[in-house]
Amino acid sequence: MSFSDRFYLNIARATALALAGIALILTSPIAAQGEGRKIFTRNQKTVLILRTHFEEQSTGSGSAFVVAYKDRKFLITDYYGISSGYFFLEAGQKKIHKLEVLRVNDMGGIAILTFPSIDSYAAVPLEKYEPLRGEKVYAMGFPGVPGTSELSLTITDGLVSNDRVLLPEAGPSSRRFIQVSAALDVGNHGGPIFGEAGRLIGMATGGVVNEQSVNLVVPAADLMREIDQIDEKQTMNAEQAEAAVRERIDLIAEAVREKRVLDYGYFYSPEYKLNIYSDLRGMHDRVYSAHRLMRSRKPPTTDAALDIVREYLDPDEFLYYLILMSYYRTHPSDNFDTVLFEVSLNPFLASQLYLSGRFMFLIHEISSQNRKFTNEKFEYVSHTVDRIEFDSRLRNADVELTVQAKSYRFPVKLKFTREWGNWFLTPVYNYSKLLRED
C-alpha cells in the first residue's frame, strides 16, 4: 500500500462517518491541573477549525493553527484537508474565507497559509524541537462530534512511540515522520502536537490503515523548511522553475516504475480536481448501477463480469470502474458499495482515482502505439527530458519526454502548472474523448 493511499483511506472513511453522524471523539484523561491543562490553556486560542465544502455541501473538517516564525505569523494545516474541497476557517463565531495558500508540500502533507487578520491571533512559537522516544505528548484539535456539526477543541495525550518513521513511497528521498500514541481523529489532522515542556513537535497528519495507534506527526523542522521556501513575490527564475519541474517528473516516474497506479492522479492540480468532481458524481451513479446489474446476473468469470459492466458504461466510466475496483482490492472493506460511497463523498479522492485511470490509459496507449514489433508488456526503465518550455510568467510548462521501456522507447508530452507554490500536472488531452488533443 502506497504512502498517499494510507492517508486517503483515513480521510475518505472519516468523512463518510462524520457525514453519517457517527464519528467518535477520541480522548484520554488528563489531570485537571497537570501539564496538559497548562498546554491547553496556553494554546487554545491558536487552534482553529478548518471546514471544507463543495457546492454548499460539507465535505469534512480538520484543524489548523497559527505559528510565529522569524517575526511573522503563518497558518499551518494538513494539505489533504484543503485539497478535499473549498475551505474556510472558524474562529469562535467568526468565519474567515479570505485565505491565501502560500505553499504546499503535497507529498509531506503540509500547507502554509495566511489571512488578513492573522497578526491579531495568538501564535505557537515554531522552532526546531526533536522529541525523544517515550516522551509525553499532547495533541490539540477538533475531532468530530456524534450527530452534530458543532466542534469542540480537545486535548489528548500519549507518548512518542518512534521518533523516526520513514515512508519510502513518499518520494525518492524517504520522508520522516514522528509516531505518537495519542489518539488522533481525522478532525485532529492539521492540528499541533506538543512535547512535555509545551514545545511544538509538529503537525498531526494521517495514520496507517489497519494499524493500532500508528498516528503520524510532521516534524517542526519540516514546517520550518517549507516556510523558508515560500516565494510570495513570485521571483522564481527559469533555472529554479526547471529544477522544480524536473523534480516533479522524477516523482511521477518513480510512481510509474513502482506500478503505483492509484497514485498517478495524485500529481494533478488541486484546482483541476475540484473542477472535474461535478462530473464524477454523476459517473458514480452510473458505475454503481452497472456494478449492481453485473452482480444480479451472477457471471461465472471475472472476464464475463467485466464484459457486462463494459456494455453499460462509456470508456471513461469503465476505466474509472477498473480503478475503483483496484482501490477496493487494496483497501479492506465490507463490500464494493461501501467503498464507492466513501469515495463519492471525497472530491479529492474521487478525482485522484479518476485521473489515475486516465494517466494510466495515456501511458499504456502511447506505449502500445510505439511497440510495433514486440508484444512486450510495458515496463518503465528510464526517461530523458527532451524539452521544457515555460510561459512568460513561469506559471505553466510544456514538457516533452522520451520514455525507455525494456526494448523500445516512446515520446510523452506533459503539461504542468504552478499552484500553491508547487508544480502540478494538468491535462494534455480532453478526458471525455480518449487521447483527443485539446
pLDDT for 26: 36
349: three-class secondary structure by DSSP? helix
Question: Does residue 233 lie in a domain region?
Answer: no
Q: Specify the pLDDT at position 261.
A: 87
- Among 204, 228, 252, the domain boundary falls at 228
Domain membership flag for residue 111? yes
**Are residues 204 and 55 both part of a single domain?**
yes
Whether 26 and 173 map to the same domain: the answer is yes
Q: Cα–Cα distance between 396 and 210 in angstroms, integer? A: 40
Q: Are 222 and 274 in the same domain?
A: no
User: Are 220 and 344 in a shared domain?
Assistant: no
Same domain, yes or no: 196 and 284: no
Do 303 and 203 lie in one domain? The reply is no
Which residues span the domain enclosing 304?
Answer: 240-437
Does a structural domain hold residue 16? yes
User: Do 142 and 81 reside in the same domain of the chain?
Assistant: yes
pLDDT at position 210, please?
A: 45
Tell me: do 25 and 138 sit in the same domain: yes
Q: Is residue 235 part of a domain?
A: no
Contacts of 195 (CB under 8 A, 6+ apart): 129, 131, 135, 136, 137, 160, 201
All three cell numbers of 225: 523548511
* Residue 234 resides in a domain: no
Q: Are both 223 and 249 inside the same structural domain?
A: no
* 322 and 201, same domain (yes or no): no
pLDDT tens, position by position, for the chain (438 residues)? 444 444 444 444 444 333 333 233 334 444 434 888 999 999 999 999 999 888 777 878 899 999 999 999 999 999 988 887 789 999 888 999 999 999 998 888 899 999 999 999 999 999 999 899 999 999 999 987 666 667 889 999 999 988 877 765 444 446 788 999 888 888 899 999 999 889 999 999 875 544 455 789 999 999 999 999 887 666 778 898 999 999 999 999 999 998 888 888 889 988 888 888 878 888 888 998 999 999 999 999 989 999 999 999 988 889 889 999 888 887 766 688 888 888 888 888 899 899 998 888 888 888 877 776 567 788 899 999 999 999 998 999 999 999 998 888 889 999 999 999 889 998 875 444 433 333
pLDDT score at 8: 44
pTM for the whole thing? 0.81
Task: Clarify whether residues 196 and 326 are in a common domain.
Answer: no
525523544: which residue's cell? Answer: 132
pLDDT of amino acid 429: 55
Contact by Cβ (8 Å): 360, 315: no
Q: What is the pLDDT of residue 167?
A: 67
Q: Do 195 and 56 share a structural domain?
A: yes
In a domain, 208, yes or no: yes
Tell which of 173, 204, 228 closes a domain: 228
Residue 357 lies in a domain: yes
65 lies in some domain? yes
Q: Which of 228, 256, 284 is the last residue of a domain?
A: 228
| CA 241 remoteness from chain centre | 23
Domain of 86: which CATH number? Answer: 2.40.10.120
What's the CA angle centered on 266, arms 261 and 268, to 5 degrees?
120
The total of structural domains in the chain comes to 2
Q: From residue 362, how far is each of 146, 265, 287, 355, 375 by CA, in Å?
A: 43, 12, 21, 10, 18
